[in-house]
Each structure stands twice: as structure tokens, then as C-alpha cells.
């Protein structure tokens, strides 16, 4: 029985859940599920705006930190 080591999990900046699979944008972690959502929300304007706003806030906070 294999248990995933908590140290390999990172908190996703969008859903705020700890996941072991994902990508890094602006050195922040986005889980695989959220990344797939972003990729597939091009036609959903409101959802897309939500993700873009989140990412812009992160990039801005990096600039001023
Ligand atoms: Zn997520």
C-alpha cells in the first residue's frame, strides 16, 4: 500500500487544495485539475476572467514583494 507523501503536495492557488500533480506559473502552483479548467474555459467568459484575475493578482504581488 503506497501513501503519497504530504511533502510532495502543494497548495493550489486556485482551488486552495493540496495536490501532488500540477504546474507552476509565476512560481505559484496550479493543480492539474485547475490547469485543465483554464485550458477548457476559453468559451466561458466569466470563468476565464476569474482565472485571469487570479493570475494577475499573483503576478502583481510578485512585482511589489
Ligand atoms: Zn486547483
User: Average per-residue pLDDT in the chain?
Assistant: 79
The cell numbers describing 55, all together, are 493570475
User: CB neighbours (10 Å) of residue 18?
Assistant: 14
Q: Residue 58 — pLDDT band, cuts 50, 70, 90?
A: confident
List CB-based neighbours of ion ligand 1 within 5 Å.
12, 14-15, 31, 34
Q: Ligand 1 centroid to 40 CA: how many Å?
A: 14
pLDDT 10s digits, 2-32: 566 777 799 998 899 999 999 887 788 989 9
3-class secondary structure, 11: strand
Amino acid at each position: 500500500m503506497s501513501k503519497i507523501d504530504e511533502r510532495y503536495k502543494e497548495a493550489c492557488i486556485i482551488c486552495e487544495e493540496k495536490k501532488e500533480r500540477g504546474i507552476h506559473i509565476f512560481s505559484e502552483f496550479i493543480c492539474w485539475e485547475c490547469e485543465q479548467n483554464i485550458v477548457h474555459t476559453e468559451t466561458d467568459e466569466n470563468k476565464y476572467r476569474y482565472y485571469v484575475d487570479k493570475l494577475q493578482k499573483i503576478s502583481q504581488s510578485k512585482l511589489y514583494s
